[in-house]
């Protein structure tokens, strides 16, 4: 009851602020994920969905984006490459610095509200050119996160193919892992669609130890007779397809994981939710 009264008091306090200052925008924090409730979201703009920023864990961030986007219109995360933040959540061991300095990491942490957490006064990973390129891409699609969310591949935190995944070290993690294997392995993906803009994008992830070379996903919310131009961030223009064709299924090649993943896997020595891999981002717009 004490906790229930505390929560009621928090809501009353926020309501009182809005009553006294009608145009006030209140920024909220998820409190480590324990305050991501509907009533808090009604009263605040919660740009930080977890205090720990997934500790530099790309799979953690992918899972949060997938799960929260099913019912929350806005939430955010930080891409971190600062020493001590890019760590394995099970062991606390620092990951190789390159693990968080990849396009895969950037794509994993993209969300409506995104921060880049670097040691700006020291050595900026990858140089300022890489950061400016990421920022330009992100600002070009940020508005799409206000659109409709469609899962394209089932939720999974596995980065191995089905049938050859090592057992995680903790029993409760093993139980969660078995559940994830029942629906998917070694990848995840989704679509954000803005009907009012005639635009959208898909994000697909191939995990570090996956042998899956490609996947076919149907796109949702498109007008059947409308032509759409497709552009992949990594490969450029992909051509012109109708909404009917895209709704029937788009085959997307999934490149293998970069060389830095070998270093990550050697450091972690076995199963862990942290990993690196490869990713594909494809934008589309009505022609």
pLDDT at 82: 45
In a domain, 69, yes or no: yes
Residue 277 or 270, more confident: 277
Specify the pLDDT at position 232.
93
Q: For residue range 197-236, list pLDDT tens digits in order.
A: 999 999 998 877 677 788 889 999 999 999 999 999 988 8
Q: What is the CATH number of the domain that holds 75?
A: 2.60.40.1180
CB count within 10 Å of CB 42 equals 10
Residue 160's pLDDT is what?
Answer: 54
Residues of the domain holding 138: 49-286
Report how many domains make up the chain.
Answer: 1
Kindly state whether residue 146 falls inside one of the protein's structural domains. Answer: yes
Per-residue pLDDT for 259 more than 80?
no
Residue 66 lies in a domain: yes
Strands annotated E in the chain: 27-29, 45-48, 76-80, 113-117, 148-153, 187-194, 199-206, 214-217, 227-232, 236-242, 250-253, 278-286
pTM over 0.85: no
Chain mean pLDDT for the chain: 76
Reading phi first (left if > 0) and then psi (alpha if -120 to 50, else beta), residue 221 is in left
Higher pLDDT, 200 or 261: 200
Please indicate, yes or no, if residue 232 is contained in any of the structural domains: yes
> What tens digit of pLDDT does each residue of 102-139 get?
788 888 888 887 777 666 665 555 567 777 888 899 99
Q: Does residue 12 sit within a domain?
A: no
Per-residue confidence (pLDDT) for residue 148, from 0 to 100: 94
pLDDT of residue 284: 97
CA end-to-end span of the chain, whole Å? Answer: 57
pLDDT of res. 115: 74
- Mean of pLDDT values over 254-270: 57
| Residue 180 confidence (pLDDT) | 46
The answer to whether residue 22 is domain-embedded is no
Q: In which band, very low, low, confident or very high, does the pLDDT at 84 lie, cut at 50, 70 and 90?
A: very low
Task: Using the predicted structure, report yes or no on whether residue 173 has a pLDDT greater than 50.
Answer: no
Q: Give the model's pLDDT for residue 108.
A: 85
Euclidean distance between CA atoms 239 and 230, whole angstroms: 6
Q: Look at residue 166 and tell me whether its pLDDT is greater than 80.
A: no
Residue-wise pLDDT for 27-83, tens only, equals 877 665 567 788 888 888 777 777 655 656 777 788 888 888 888 777 777 665 544
Of all residues in the chain, the percent with pLDDT exceeding 90 is 30
Q: Is residue 23 a part of any domain in this protein?
A: no
Choose among 123, 119, 115, 187: nearest CA to 158: 187
- pLDDT value of position 243: 96
**Token duo for residue 242:** 């109708």
In a domain, 239, yes or no: yes
- pLDDT at residue 245, rounded to an integer: 95
Q: What pLDDT shows up at residue 18?
A: 93
Q: Answer for the pair 157, 184: CB distance below 8 angstroms, yes or no.
A: no
């Amino acid at each position: 009851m004490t906790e229930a009264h505390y929560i009621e008091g928090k809501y009353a306090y926020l309501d009182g602020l809005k009553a006294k200052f009608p145009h006030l925008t209140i920024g909220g924090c998820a409190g480590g994920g324990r305050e991501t409730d509907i009533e808090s979201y009604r009263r605040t703009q919660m740009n930080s969905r977890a205090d720990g920023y997934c500790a530099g864990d790309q799979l953690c961030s992918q899972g949060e984006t997938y799960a929260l986007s099913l019912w929350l219109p806005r939430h955010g995360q930080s891409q971190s490459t600062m020493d001590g933040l890019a760590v394995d959540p099970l062991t606390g061991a620092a990951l190789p610095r390159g693990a968080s300095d990849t396009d895969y990491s950037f794509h994993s942490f993209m969300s409506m509200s995104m921060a880049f957490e670097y040691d700006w006064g020291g050595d900026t990973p990858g140089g300022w050119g890489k950061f400016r390129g990421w920022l330009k891409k992100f600002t070009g699609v940020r508005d799409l996160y206000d659109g409709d969310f469609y899962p394209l591949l089932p939720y999974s935190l596995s980065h191995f193919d089905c049938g050859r995944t090592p057992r995680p070290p903790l029993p409760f993690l093993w139980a969660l892992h078995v559940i994830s294997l029942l629906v998917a392995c070694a990848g995840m993906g989704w679509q954000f669609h803005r009907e009012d803009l005639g635009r959208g994008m898909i994000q697909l992830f191939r995990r570090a130890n996956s042998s899956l070379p490609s996947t076919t996903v149907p796109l949702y919310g498109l007008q059947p007779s409308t032509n759409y131009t497709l552009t992949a961030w990594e490969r450029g223009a992909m051509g012109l397809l109708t909404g009917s064709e895209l709704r029937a299924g788009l085959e997307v090649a999934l490149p293998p994981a970069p060389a830095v993943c070998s270093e990550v896997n050697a450091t972690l020595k076995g199963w862990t939710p942290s990993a690196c891999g490869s990713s594909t981002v494809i934008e589309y717009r009505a022609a």
